[in-house]
Structure 1
Amino acid sequence: MMKRLVLFTILGIMLIGCKAKKRTTHSDRSNHKTVTVVKEEANDGYDSKGLYPLPKDTGRFQRFSIGSVEEYIETFSEIAQYEMKAYGIPASITLAQGLLESGLGKGELAVKTNNHFGIKCHKGWQGDYDFHDDDEKGECFRKYNHPMYSYRDHSEFLSSRARYAFLFDYASTDYKRWAKGLRQAGYATDHRYPQKLIYLIEKHKLYRFDKGVRLNNAIAIREPKSFENKVHVVQKGDTLYSISRRYFISVDEIKRMNNMNSNNLAIGQKIRVQTELSKK
């Protein structure tokens, strides 16, 4: 069963409810090697940073085949809950985005890159990548050896970018505001993106996975981000779209921050863009 295949690499190395240092082993079926993991004392299998351990990256791409929506949910619901505990993103939202962006796990991008959230390369990406037609032909998308890395990257992507910061002010059970906020922040260009997420959540009762997950150790809550305001001076040929691509921020967010009612620009006009402070 697919759930066993995915969770085997996690649960084989996690120490659920451990209270002392322990040693455990699991078999990596891809190369028939036994990996030994030593886990220091942690709460409920999480390390001191609130993260559960990812499986060891063997460098080999693992191809997954999902047969149905139910199988997708069964396979990734627990991973979504782990990410919710660590980062504060509702598991229902993570699962709905995974289902939608990956084409129920069967889309071309998901199959060839294990990218379940449609995250593009963006500036600073140093991992593997592949090209896929999306808004434009041959765009660069992140590629992962295992879907779990895609889930972790999705959490880090949302929690580390200024344009998504306001989402973490919403209640973790308010999936409707999260869905609408993702569209507002520019995660997708589809105007019906929130409705599609909400439909998936309610049809498959994904909100049940938000219940009982403690967020008091969530990274996004525990470590508030610092931001700086930058100003872009409009040059000849600039458009809101080109500016949004340059600063990795949505057109809607630019208009919101600058109280703009139209897409018209004037040469010399100062446009405020908000970016995360550089980390050293």
Structure 2
Amino acid sequence: MKRWWTTTGVICVFLAATAIPAQAAEEVATQDAVREAALEPGAVDPEYLAAVEPVAQAVAEEYGIPASVTAAQSILESGWGESRLAVAHRNFFGFKCVAGRPGPIASGCHEYPTTECTPECQPATAAFRVYPSMKDSFRDYGRLISTSKYYAHALPFADDAKVFIREVAKSYATDPKYAGKVIRLMDQHDLYRLDSPE
């Protein structure tokens, strides 16, 4: 079953790192490459963490999603906020538009070349959500995780960030190591502190 809401929903999904059309062929960063770069030992951006922490905590307050998970997923999905989608369109989770519509929070859609694997991989063009701000991207994440039937089974575990992301990952990504990658970021950067602010 294809999961349309994020680039992680289908295995082998790629997102162009540069704008369409002329530069698209020059530099292509796969979503896997974005994630791997986020996991590099020296890949720490204190400014990104400072910007993300209060926004992730606001999502926790509004939607009941652990702030540690929200922050770590944004780091992984956006490569510390450096992915083309994050920089150009403030989309920190790789959410796609559905049937050409951006949903209730995003302000529009922007097309990028991708590769979709269902299960055979082939080039495609997909519309990704455009947000007015980082806060809006994070709110859309919180709204989706807290209201979609695909994640309902995770919600009872919101008090345990590790169990929560393991449950979310079952529907969020086809990568069997996805939850482990998010947990690795939570561990490396002590993001659990965001779940119990003083």
- Per the TM superposition, whether the score is higher than 0.5 is yes
Classify the secondary structure of the residue corresponding to 1:116. coil
User: Over residues 135-175 of structure 1, what are the superposed CA-to-partner deviations in whole Å (9 max), with x where a residue is unaligned?
Assistant: 42321110012111101111111112111111111142x11
Which residue in 1 is equivalent to 2:94?
118
For residue 92 of structure 1, the aligned residue among 55, 68, 76 is: 68
CA distance in 2, matches of 1:81, 1:100: 17
For residue 131 of structure 1, the aligned residue among 88, 99, 111 is: 111
**Contact 2:102 2:130 survives alignment (8 Å):** no
Which residue in 1 is equivalent to 2:169?
183
CA distance in 2, matches of 1:97, 1:132: 21
After TM superposition, the structure 1 = structure 2 runs for residues 1-280 of structure 1, keeping only pairs within 5 Å, are: 68-123=44-99, 125-126=102-103, 127-136=107-116, 137-172=124-159, 174-185=160-171, 187-212=172-197
**Contact 1:115 1:142 survives alignment (8 Å):** yes
- The residue type paired with residue 155 of structure 2 is F
CA distance in 2, matches of 1:135, 1:88: 33
User: Over residues 205-225 of structure 1, what are the superposed CA-to-partner deviations in whole Å (9 max), with x where a residue is unaligned?
Assistant: 000000148xxxxxxxxxxxx
CA distance in 1, matches of 2:49, 2:158: 23
Classify the secondary structure of the residue corresponding to 1:118. coil
**Contact 1:109 1:132 survives alignment (8 Å):** no
User: Over residues 32-81 of structure 1, what are the superposed CA-to-partner deviations in whole Å (9 max), with x where a residue is unaligned?
Assistant: xxxxxxxxxxxxxxxxxxxxxxxxxxxxxxxxxxx952211111101111
More helix by share: 2
**Contact 2:81 2:92 survives alignment (8 Å):** yes
- The residue type paired with residue 140 of structure 1 is A
CA distance in 2, matches of 1:96, 1:135: 25
Classify the secondary structure of the residue corresponding to 2:128. strand
CA distance in 2, matches of 1:133, 1:195: 28
CA distance in 2, matches of 1:163, 1:110: 24
CA distance in 2, matches of 1:112, 1:212: 31
Classify the secondary structure of the residue corresponding to 1:122. coil
User: Over residues 211-252 of structure 1, what are the superposed CA-to-partner deviations in whole Å (9 max), with x where a residue is unaligned?
Assistant: 148xxxxxxxxxxxxxxxxxxxxxxxxxxxxxxxxxxxxxxx
| C-alpha RMSD of the superposition | 1.9
Q: Which has the higher contact order (CA 8 A, sep 6+)?
A: 2
CA distance in 1, matches of 2:158, 2:56: 17
Give ranges in structure 2 of 5+ residues lacking alignment: 1-42, 117-123
* Count of residue pairs brought into register by the alignment: 145
**Contact 2:74 2:93 survives alignment (8 Å):** yes
User: Over residues 169-204 of structure 1, what are the superposed CA-to-partner deviations in whole Å (9 max), with x where a residue is unaligned?
Assistant: 1142x111122112212x122221101100000000
Classify the secondary structure of the residue corresponding to 1:208. helix
Superposition TM-score, scaled by structure 2 size: 0.68
- Shift of the 134–169 alpha-carbon distance from structure 1 to 2, 3 Å rule, reads farther
